[in-house]
Structure 1
Amino acid sequence: MNTKKTTGRRIGGIFALLIALVWVFPVYWMINSSFLSSATLAQLTPTWVPFGGTFNNYKTVMDPSSGFTSSLQMSVTITLLSLLFCIVFAFLGALAISRFKFRGRKSFVVAIIVIQMLPAEAMFIAQYKMISSLGLLNTVVGISIIYIATVIPFTLWMLRGFVAGVPADLEEAAMVDGCTRFGAFMRVTFPLLAPGLVASGVYAFIQVWNEFALASVLLTDESSRTLPLWLRRLSEFSNVGGYPNWGEVMAGSVLVAVPVIIFFLIVQGRMTQGMVGGAVKG
């Protein structure tokens, strides 16, 4: 029996490794291609390792004339602003529907689910007219308002599960020991919700950072491009002979992906922590 289990685990491990390689290969190929020239990439024989590669692609896309710096600043500002308000509003909403009973609570929950079912493209015209009427087209505030409203429903639904998973008895026990309701929440419940806040924040960050369709509608000015819009413009600007300069496009893609990787590495420790591990003694 032990031999069969060991064999099964090895087969499962090999299968998981193959899946991981398939998942990682596009990332590797993007990084590999970013160090190769257009002539090398145009060859029929693929270059698997960029020996003798060059940093010229990165120098070109990071040149001030390419607009990378301004687009990076635009994306960082929009993402941080949207992330802050999204987490705050979604967290308060999750507390309300998980901890309190009020009239219209079920209807509110149903509305959250229905909103998530609506295709984003169906609301583009209404969103454009609303932001245009407010005079907020091509502005950080305008696009951030729409991003916050777009990301909040699912983020709230995620946080609701985390809040509901923390027993209310913990707060009540702290209140019996002399804490106020707010003090019990901040000292007992809030630390246990940290993994949920981080997980929801990662989702919101990725959604806003990589969003392209809505940004292309609301940010039409060349001076107010986010990084996804800048990357599309780069593929058009580097077009030579009817084909994009794929080395520059891959270098730009790597630069767009780096902040997401850095953010994930910073918060991944919190994501792996248990929610209520050690909170209740047996």
Structure 2
Amino acid sequence: MTATTAAPAEARRPAPTRRRRGRVSSVLLGVAAIAVFLVSVFPVYWMVNTSFQPNGQVRGTELHFWPDNATVENYVDVIFDESRAPFIPALLNSLQITVLTVVIALVFAFLAAIAVSRFRFRTRGMFIVAILIVQMIPAEAMIISVFRLMDGWHLLNSIMGLTAVYVATVLPFTIWTLRGFVNGVPAELEEAAMIDGLSRTQAFWRITFPLLAPGLVATGVFAFIQAWNEFVFALVINPRPEAMTLPVWLRTFLDPNGGINWAQLMAGSTLVAIPVVVFFLFVQHRMTGGLVSGAVKG
């Protein structure tokens, strides 16, 4: 009897130990997450902090972790200084090119992803392999051919020329990403809706499309960031001051003689980063919400 009662007691002893180990693991993971967050955020904070300091203070030997002599003159000079390429035209060029790129790429990528995932045709496998191969080609390897092509079409230093290049660059990634989202939506949902009396088109728009909306938003965010931050093609195809985008505009702050105004450069970098942050904050709740709302509504 004593041995029988002692066995369950011994079996219950490891439970507090497992709970303590679980708490320790949670604490360690929390500390690691905070450390990763701080390491990731600190460069952004340092950029914003530097943008509010006078350039003489930035070039000094003393570190200032807080803009104790905060000033907005850097931003005023960056936006209104006429000695370099203007900021407002570069901002408008980037906005036009990026928005056109995202819209056009999503439309074509969505249609291609539907075709690859929902239909079976002879060259389907070759098409998927071609998408992977195109993504492996570095952009620098195509600069000369793309430049000659745009020059032959008289599209250098134009919105449509750079947009066409960006669409061709972003399209393989968007097709591959959207294909994964389309494959994640069972075709049986459409078939069940068609049994209930809906046509194929109605079943697609009422059932499948609401489920794919978060995927479209997520893919659009990545396409937006890729087009907004692209530098090499923009430098080669749109080098003129009136046609340059913001990444190329930032290059005008670099002085080969070493006299770089780091405070203004950080202010310009902050201005370039703001639209991406605003765009992400605007759509981030749509990226995670409504993943199965279409099935419920259908």
Q: Output the TM-score relative to the length of structure 1.
A: 0.95
1:51 and 2:72 are equivalent in the alignment: no
Partner of residue 218 from structure 2, selected from 199, 206, 210:
199
1:35 and 2:70 are equivalent in the alignment: no
Match of 1:2 in 2: 19
Q: In structure 1, list runs of 5 or more residues that go unmatched.
A: none
1:68 and 2:68 are equivalent in the alignment: no
Shift of 1:103: 1.4
CA contact (8 A) 1:37 1:247 kept: yes
Within-5 A mapping of 1:1-282: 1-63=18-80, 65=82, 66=84, 67-236=86-255, 242-273=258-289, 275-276=291-292, 279=295
Instruction: Provide the C-alpha distance between the structure 2 equivalents of 1:232 and 1:39, rounded to a whole number of angstroms.
Output: 21
- Matched letter for residue 17 of structure 1: I
Q: In structure 2, list runs of 5 or more residues that go unmatched.
A: 1-17
Shift of 1:75: 0.3
**CA deviations over 1:97-147 (Å, ceiling 9, x no partner):** 000001100011110011111111111111011110000000000011010
- Matched letter for residue 13 of structure 1: G
Shift of 1:274: 5.6
- Matched letter for residue 192 of structure 2: A
Instruction: Provide the C-alpha distance between the structure 2 equivalents of 1:274 and 1:81, rounded to a whole number of angstroms.
Output: 26
Give the number of equivalent residue pairs.
278
CA contact (8 A) 2:208 2:294 kept: no
CA contact (8 A) 1:166 1:276 kept: no
Instruction: Provide the C-alpha distance between the structure 2 equivalents of 1:26 and 1:248, rounded to a whole number of angstroms.
Output: 16
Runs (4 or more) in structure 1 with deviation over 3 Å come to: none
Instruction: Provide the C-alpha distance between the structure 1 equivalents of 2:136 and 2:254, rounded to a whole number of angstroms.
Output: 33
1:223 counterpart SS class: coil
- Distance of aligned partners of 1:258 and 1:64 in 2 relative to their CA distance in 1, 3 Å threshold: same
**CA deviations over 1:80-104 (Å, ceiling 9, x no partner):** 1111100000010000000000110
CA contact (8 A) 1:196 1:271 kept: yes
**CA deviations over 1:220-259 (Å, ceiling 9, x no partner):** 21211100011111333xx8x7221000000000000000
Instruction: Provide the C-alpha distance between the structure 2 equivalents of 1:277 and 1:22, rounded to a whole number of angstroms.
Output: 37
- Distance of aligned partners of 1:278 and 1:97 in 2 relative to their CA distance in 1, 3 Å threshold: closer
**CA deviations over 1:152-199 (Å, ceiling 9, x no partner):** 001100000000000001111111111111111001100000110011
Which one has a bigger Cα radius of gyration? Answer: 2
Shift of 1:42: 1.2
Shift of 1:46: 0.5
Shift of 1:200: 0.4
CA contact (8 A) 1:71 1:225 kept: yes
- Matched letter for residue 158 of structure 1: T
Identity of aligned residues (%): 50
- Matched letter for residue 160 of structure 1: R
The CA RMSD over aligned residues, in Å, is: 1.5
Shift of 1:278: 7.8
